[in-house]
Amino acid sequence: MNATATTDTAREARQSLLAVRGFLHHKLAVTGLLVLLTLAVCCFGADWIAPYPRNAQDLLLGAAPPSGSHLLGTDELGRDYLSEVLYAGRISLAIGLGVAALSTTLGTVLGAVAGYVGGWVEEMIMRLTDLFLVVPGIAVLALALQGFGSSPFTIVLVLSGLGWTFIARVVRAQVLSLREKEFIDAARVLGVPGFRILWRHLLPNLVGVIVVNVSLAVAGAVIIESTLSFLGFGIQPPRSSWGNMLSQAAGMVGTSKSYLLYAPGAAIVLTVLAVNFVGDGLRDTFSPQGGRR
């Protein structure tokens, strides 16, 4: 038994090393990962990195263009815009990561149970999935946020409640295929409980699908939160996110204050591009043809 466990551990370590090497050969994915890490460190470490405290106002200065003392300028309240972008990114990225983690966990569990158990359980879960798929997402989000408030926690819950369907369908399809494999039949013959088969034998074979979904869900959540905030349904002042910073600067187009649009817009674009590059690299790494670039 110990020899078998050692062999399994060595094989898993070798596969992990090959996956890391394959990912590192994907230059755009590595670049995207570095950009994401830089954004995360700067935003979540804004208390130490931001040049000015959050919401530090200088009403006599007002809106001023970029300068040596304010690299991205100041807003109409005289707040250093670089500092505000970093603090706003903390909320936007936290929402993206929270939605990705929660929706992927929920979708993976429901999809795996539906695919493995089958029968009326699968039918019920899939009909629930179909129901969520036909619901107009933006409308439901707007109504839910109006009714329950627009705190980051509420936004994460609502977006996760609508965003689990895609990964659930993908995981179900993968489990339906895997449950017919010989190693699953062998586990059943040996009397391994269904929960252990799911946890120990099926889910490890879905790591690639799950990881790719997490990366893409972050980008989707950041875009949706920014859209909601831009429309006035998302994060509300005095909290700031990249979306509501864009909303507040929307009237500045074509004026001397149009620079207020550039930083939050660029932050959203950079985040989404970086996440998509990482997702592309992960997909190539975990696919049967991965690692050939």
HEC states along the chain?
Answer: CHHHHHHHHHHHHHHHHHHHHHHHCCHHHHHHHHHHHHHHHHHHCHHHHCCCCCCCCCCCCCCCCCCCCCCCCECCCCCEHHHHHHHHHHHHHHHHHHHHHHHHHHHHHHHHHHHHHCHHHHHHHHHHHHHHHHCCHHHHHHHHHHHHCCCHHHHHHHHHHHHCHHHHHHHHHHHHHHCCCHHHHHHHHCCCCHHHHHHHHHHHHHHHHHHHHHHHHHHHHHHHHHHHHHHCCCCCCCCCCHHHHHHHCHHHCCCCCCHHHHHHHHHHHHHHHHHHHHHHHHHHHHCCCCCCC
pLDDT at residue 10, as a whole number: 60
Kindly give, in sequence order, each residue whose CB lies less than 8 Å from that of residue 265, ignoring residues fewer than 6 positions away.
242, 246
Average pLDDT for residues 258-280, to the nearest whole number?
89
d(CA 51, CA 197): 52
CATH code that applies to domain 47-277: 1.10.3720.10
**Under DSSP, is residue 179 helix (H, G, I), strand (E, B) or coil?**
coil
Taking the domains of the chain in order of start, what are their residue ranges? 47-277
pLDDT in tens, 43-58: 999 999 999 998 888 8
Q: Does residue 292 carry a pLDDT above 70?
A: no
Q: In this predicted structure, which of 198-207, 213-222, 236-245 has the lowest mean pLDDT?
A: 198-207
Beta-bridge partners for 74:
80
- 144 token code pair: 């839910």
- First-to-last alpha carbon distance for the chain, in angstroms, is 39
Q: Does residue 132 carry a pLDDT above 60?
A: yes
d(CA 220, CA 224): 6
Q: Which of 35-44, 211-220, 259-268, 274-283 is the most confident on average?
A: 35-44
pLDDT in tens, 187-205: 777 777 767 777 777 777 7
pTM of the shown model: 0.82
Average pLDDT along the chain:
82
Residues present in the chain in total: 293
Which of the four pLDDT bands, split at 50, 70 and 90, describes residue 291?
very low
